[in-house]
Amino acid sequence: MVDRHGLVARPAGRGRRLLKAVGFGLAFAVPVTALAFVVREKFLPVIQLDERLIVAATDITRDNPWFRTALLVWQEATQPRWVYIVASGVCLLLWRRHRELATRCLWAFITMMVAWNLQLVLKEVVQRARPVVSDPVSHAPGYSFPSGHVANAAAIAAVLTILLWPVLSANARRWLVAGLTAYVVITALDRVFLGVHYPSDVLAGVLFGIGLGTASYVGYLGWNPQSPDAAPPPEGRSGPEQAKGNS
């Protein structure tokens, strides 16, 4: 679109959609920031609740060796590096089979890499120590807030759901959402029952991952909308890929 001065004009809806992306981001960033402040300042009611839940969870794990073994296997299988390799493979496979979704695949990959690194930055900012129990059932290095396993799991789940939505049937979509939700929930429980993260760390991880994935996608659609007033649907065939061909 060119204005009367010969300059390329941005679509009228772009600023509105980018503001919507910022709004989505803030809706999740505010509670994560509030939780970070609470744990950093050691707000007593939250700290005491975290401690009680960690003791109760690790007692259950300690009393059931088979449960501890299953948790440790899940912990290793869901190390972010392994899951990101699989998720990146999904992006590559989708790009090979659906070239019209090329920028959507690139968006997904970049968003996941940003999530992986940003949660590490947040850990360094908050610097919360790991839980300490009298008879630990597992150990993990680094800081505790937010849970890296959970933050990455939630981000991957949100991104893959959005990425694959246009190419799946209604039944396949239900299975995808159910499977990825189970992956996030089990990972969250795994971290608490192994005693390597407080429940508030896990909650922050979920909010961080879902918030980042959602806000990133809204921003991706808003950057190059199909038309100023068109609602941005999740289908890649009517998103930025098609918009580039119509510009």
Q: Known catalytic residues? A: 149, 197
Distance, in Å, from the CA atom of 53 to the CA atom of 41, rounded to the nearest integer, reads: 19
d(CA 12, CA 159) in angstroms, rounded, equals 27
- Work out the angle at residue 96's Cα, subtended by the Cα atoms of residues 93 and 98, and round it to the nearest 5 degrees: 100
Contact assessment for residue 83 and residue 148, using Cβ atoms and an 8 Å cutoff = no
Q: How far is 58 from 170, CA to CA, in rounded Å? A: 40
SS3 assignment, position 8:
strand
Q: What is the Cα–Cα distance from 247 to 243, expressed in whole angstroms?
A: 6
Structure tokens belonging to residue 50: 């975290």
Max Cα separation, the chain? 75
The position carrying tokens 């998103």 is 239
Radius of gyration of the chain (CA): 21
Long-range contacts of 118-124 (CB under 8 A, 24+ apart): 118/208, 118/212, 119/146, 119/148, 119/151, 119/152, 119/205, 119/208, 119/209, 120/148, 122/32, 122/36, 122/146, 122/208, 123/148
